[in-house]
Amino acid sequence: MPGRRTRDRTRTAGSSRGSPPRTGDRGPCATTFDDLASAAVRAARLADPEARVETQGEVLVVRDFLDAYVLEWTVHHLDLVAHLPGVPGPPDDGLAASRATVEALLGEPVPAALADADALRVVTGRRAPTAAERAALGPLVDRLPVTLG
C-alpha cells in the first residue's frame, strides 16, 4: 500500500516522502517486477510460437508478440539508465534481438557503425544521431524515427 509506514518508520515505495531505499535495497517494486518477468519468461517458453494472440486491437503470432515485448522492454531499459552512470544497461542478447526487430520493421539493416544501444536510441528517436551516425545512416536517416506503437 503506497505511503504505508514500515517498522523502521520510513515510507514504502509510492510515497513522495520518507527515505529513499538503501543502496542495494531494490524495494518491493523491483521484487514484483522480477516475479512478473519470471512468470512471463515461463509462459513464453511454453507458448506455441505460431499461435495467434490479440493485443491492442492487433492480432500477432506469439513469436512476433514476444519480439515486440523484448524490444519494448529493452528500449525502456535504455531510457531508465540513460543518465545513470555505472548502472548496467540491457543485456547484449536483448539489444541484438531488439536491433533485429527494428531492422525488420525498417526493411533494411541499420549500419554496423552504430552499436546496438546507439542504433536503438537513434532509430526510436530517443536521441538525435551524431554527424558520423547521420553519415553512416545515409538516406535511412530520413525515415527516422520509427514509430513503435
pLDDT tens column, 87-116: 999 999 999 999 999 999 999 999 999 999
* DSSP bridge partners of 54: 59
The lowest-confidence range among 15-29, 84-98, 118-132 is 15-29
Percent of all residues in the chain with a pLDDT value above 70, rounded to a whole number: 83
123 contact partners, CB below 8 Å, separation of at least 6: 102, 106, 110, 144, 145, 146
Average pLDDT score over the chain: 86
Q: Is 89 helix (H, G, I), strand (E, B) or coil?
A: coil
pTM: 0.76
